[in-house]
């Protein structure tokens, strides 16, 4: 499960967005964390086809830290997998592009501070020792970039360098998405046209309604899919994740895996035994399965493929893993 930190300037609507996404009231005090299902209509369709007793979705956790980018907040955001940057695009004085730039500057400064102390430590350790030299070089390069007010993602890092940097939980290396908190019914602001436009206030208002009432009200404002769906889809893209499914009489379930993962790696998401004892995967594409009307039907139609250890799992694959431990 991935953790998404909600970052933004004060009063940009972070907590409102958090309540809307997680359908939970916002309590004060410590950080608010909520785990939500990744919306995926395919789960219900497969469960119906295979008459599953249970369904389960992939999950993500949203983290809203009261007080925002304080030392405590920064420490919490360092532990997340991706950042959802919220900028205010409602109100006459809104300047979402400038807000995003100043947010990014804050993240760069936070990374600069932690990398700076890393450089100092590595310098002391490195005296005459080659082992620490590579580490020091990476940190110095990172420092140079941040000092020039650029995010770490602008640098070129090999796997060793990435490993060193990730030890610091750098904020500017995390994948991010930008949410423009807009006036009800508005699209993304012209200055940030690839941001996801969401009216947090409107979405928070519909969060307590039934799905039907919510979509009706949202549709009235020209909003076709709920904020949660759009935010999660964008996070999946930013994190380079795909969804595969499992189905059967017991359960239909959606799982998240890194794009490019092999069948045994995907099996490992389900259970480590399935990866260790992986023999083969039987695979049917979601659309083929729905068209065939059942797993057995897909098999009879020749739509079931038997794949080995090197198979790279695709979005929407339905897997049966054969294993022995
Ligand atoms: N008009 C309008 N007001 C909003 C919207 N989202 C949040 N607000 C208001 O802006 C203020 C700050 O929101 P909040 O979520 O607490 O911001 P945070 O400091 O980023 O957590 C509150 O008074 C909200 O009611 C929105 O989409 N439209
Ligand atoms: Mg707040």
pLDDT at position 123 is 85
pLDDT at position 24 is 66
What is the per-residue DSSP string for 129-141?
Answer: -HHHHHHHHHHHH
CA of 278 to the centre of ligand 1 (A): 49
Q: Which of 10, 12, 16 to mutate to test the pocket of ligand 1 (most atoms within 8 A of CB)?
A: 16
What is the per-residue DSSP string for 164-189?
Answer: HHHTT--GGGS-EEEEEEESTT----
pLDDT at position 198 is 94
Query: For residue range 113-165, what is the model confidence (pLDDT) as tens digits?
Result: 999 999 998 888 877 666 667 889 999 999 999 999 999 999 999 999 999 99
pLDDT at position 68 is 83
18 lines ligand 1 (CB under 6 A): no
CA of 13 to the centre of ligand 2 (A): 7
| Cβ neighbours of residue 88 closer than 8 Å, sequence gap 6 or more | 8, 9, 11, 12, 13, 94, 96, 99, 181
pLDDT at position 207 is 83
pLDDT at position 29 is 46
Q: Which domains does the chain have, with CATH numbers?
A: 260-323 (3.10.20.30)
- Tell me the CA distances in angstroms from 144 to 34, 109, 132, 226, one per residue in order: 37, 12, 18, 41
**Residue of 18, 4, 1 lying closest to 66 (CA atoms):** 18
Residues with CB under 5 A from ligand 2 (ion): 14-15
CA of 66 to the centre of ligand 1 (A): 13
Q: How far apart are CA 39 and CA 44, in angstroms?
A: 10
Q: Is it the case that residue 79 has pLDDT exceeding 70?
A: yes
- The percentage of the chain sitting over the pLDDT mark of 70, rounded to a whole number, equals 96
Least reliable range by pLDDT among 48-52, 73-77, 119-123: 119-123
pLDDT at position 88 is 97
CA of 27 to the centre of ligand 2 (A): 10
- Which atom of ligand 1 is nearest to 8's Cα? 20
| Average pLDDT over the chain, rounded to an integer | 92
221 lines ligand 1 (CB under 6 A): no
Nearest CA to ligand 1 atom 9: 13
pLDDT at position 92 is 92
- The owner of tokens 């995967």 is 281
Query: For residue range 224-254, what is the model confidence (pLDDT) as tens digits?
Result: 888 888 999 999 999 999 999 999 999 999 9
- The percentage of the chain sitting over the pLDDT mark of 90, rounded to a whole number, equals 74
Q: Is it the case that residue 258 has pLDDT exceeding 90?
A: yes
202 contacts 228 by C-beta, under 8 angstroms: no
- Which atom of ligand 1 is nearest to 199's Cα? 27
Query: For residue range 179-216, what is the model confidence (pLDDT) as tens digits?
Result: 999 999 888 999 998 999 999 999 888 888 888 888 88
13 lines ligand 1 (CB under 6 A): yes
């Amino acid at each position: 499960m991935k953790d998404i930190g909600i970052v933004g300037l004060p009063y940009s609507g972070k907590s409102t967005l958090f309540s809307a996404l997680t359908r939970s009231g916002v309590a004060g005090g410590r950080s608010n964390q909520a785990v939500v299902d990744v919306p995926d209509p395919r789960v219900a369709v497969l469960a119906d086809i295979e008459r599953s007793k249970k369904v389960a979705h992939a999950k993500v956790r949203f983290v809203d830290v009261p007080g925002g980018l304080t030392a405590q907040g920064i420490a919490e955001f360092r532990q997340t997998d991706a950042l959802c940057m919220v900028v205010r695009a409602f109100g006459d004085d809104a300047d979402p592009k400038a807000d995003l730039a100043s947010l990014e500057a804050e993240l760069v400064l936070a990374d600069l501070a932690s990398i700076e102390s890393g450089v100092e430590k590595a310098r002391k350790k490195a005296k005459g020792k080659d082992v620490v030299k590579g580490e020091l070089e990476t940190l110095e390069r990172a420092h140079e970039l941040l000092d020039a007010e650029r995010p770490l993602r602008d640098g070129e890092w090999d796997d060793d360098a990435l490993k060193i940097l990730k030890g610091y939980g750098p904020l500017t290396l995390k994948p991010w998405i930008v949410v423009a908190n807009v006036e009800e019914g508005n699209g993304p602001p012209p200055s940030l046209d690839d941001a996801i436009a969401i009216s947090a206030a409107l979405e928070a208002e519909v969060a307590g309604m039934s799905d039907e009432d919510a979509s009706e009200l949202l549709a009235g404002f020209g909003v076709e899919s709920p904020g949660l769906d759009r935010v999660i889809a964008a996070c999946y893209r930013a994190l380079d994740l795909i969804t595969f499914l499992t189905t059967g009489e017991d359960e239909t379930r959606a799982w998240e895996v890194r794009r490019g993962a092999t069948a045994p790696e995907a099996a490992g998401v389900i259970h480590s035994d399935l990866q260790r004892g992986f023999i083969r995967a039987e695979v049917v594409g979601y659309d083929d399965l729905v068209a065939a009307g059942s797993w057995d039907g897909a098999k009879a139609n020749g739509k079931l493929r038997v794949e080995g250890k090197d198979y790279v799992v695709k979005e929407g694959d339905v897997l049966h893993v054969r294993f022995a431990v």
